[in-house]
Structure 1
Amino acid sequence: MKTILIVDDEPRTRLGIQKTLVAWSAGRHRIESAASGVEALEWLKANTIHIIITDVRMPEIDGLQMLEMLAMRGQLPVVIVISGYAEFEYAKKSLQLGAFEYLLKPLDKSILIDAVQKALKLDSSRERLDAMEKLVDPKLLEAGRDEARYGTVIKEAISYVNNHLQETISMKQVAELMHMNASYFSVLFKEQTGVTFSDYLTRRRLQRAKELLVTTRMPIWEIAEKVGYQTAKYFIKVFKDNEGVSPSQYRHQVMDTEQSIQ
């Protein structure tokens, strides 16, 4: 359930927006309201919102000042700004602060609902990006960016690892395939990729495991086998040591985010 916060010091406008959105939402979303920027900021200390609909002209702290404060807190949701003043500077400033939409009073109900629906889609796309970012190992991403500069041997070694994750792989085995001394291969791999061979192999296996956890309903024991671990118990230990949660917990966390996007 997404939360929408309406901030307006005019009771008639505030209650009118709330009544319209409650009827439209039909219980699908939580619709809250605040009578001032001060009240909204206080409420937001203990609550999370997805969409904020705010007037720009309010006493004490106006809507634009409130958005500036939320941005400083790193809390800025998708914002719809409303105003009775058709002034370009208000619209310009609100857009600079990250507002998604600027609506003029008196509000047309259909335009308001359309703006809220679009804002919810934008919020969902943000959540999807956040979820996908959780799948990416920053070390692998960094290594991938530099891959064009790797020597032929390291490129071939990485290609072999990526294509044989399901199998038992050792550094000695890969070094021999590359016709190299294992010690020299180890130094060369770390020098070019920035990580040890063992670390790269573990990260690559866990990266693939995370992809399978999110994109399939495959059981944990089967995923363990698919990424080269002989026992689910050891796979779970390695996963938890590196990710801070078990594979099942990871799947639950990310799939929850994905379900809220549909």
Structure 2
Amino acid sequence: MYKIILADDEKWVRVVLRKAVEQTKLPVTIVQECANGLEALDAVRKHEADLVISDVKMPIMDGIGLAEQMAGMTANLVLVSGFDDFHFAQKAIRYGVKDYLLKPVEMEAMADCLERWIQGRAMLKEAMGSDTLQTVTAELSVIEQVQQFVAANLAKDIALTDVAAFVHLNPSYLSQLFKQQTGGKFVDYVIEMRIEEAKRLLVKTSLRVFEIAERLGYGDIAYFSNTFKKLTGSSPLEYRKNGGKP
């Protein structure tokens, strides 16, 4: 039996999710229900769970934060989201989120999701010996450390050599490993993270555009604005005016 954690700050949603999981009649069991991502993270470690099914929006630690923290774990994550934040939830793919379920979650959708996940899990176990699995887990842990380093140093000039020294790896090897595990280049990831933080600051704060640019390590506001528009399709001011919608 695969062990599952449910995470949602609303009890009635957890009831719906539990019912949907149980109705699938698949070889899974719910070992704990949690009200936020931090509780879910502790529960994964406590129960050595295989899968977390989590809402995107929760207090203390939301689903995206949970995805980031689980990036180096063998346990997997499925996110549940409403229509309005579904596009936002998709961005968690960089952290290895396995699937997305759109509210309201029906049994058929849950069954399809769990069947795909179980099949993938079985294939992974069959294809990998224990030594290989340990190696993959170690590599994922390194990537998690790199992502945490980037998140903590967005205002600085983040060089691959600095990150490589932080995780005690050769820069060339780290570059290859990062692309292998995330599907993208390290330098592009740094830019994406800066723009994601800029988007958050534009919507959640009253900081002026040049202040946000400086906070994210951009000394040239024109370059920042051009980069922002290239990745989002709108200028920083347009993004703020539209309430976070492109």
TM-score by length of 1: 0.46
Higher-Rg structure is 1
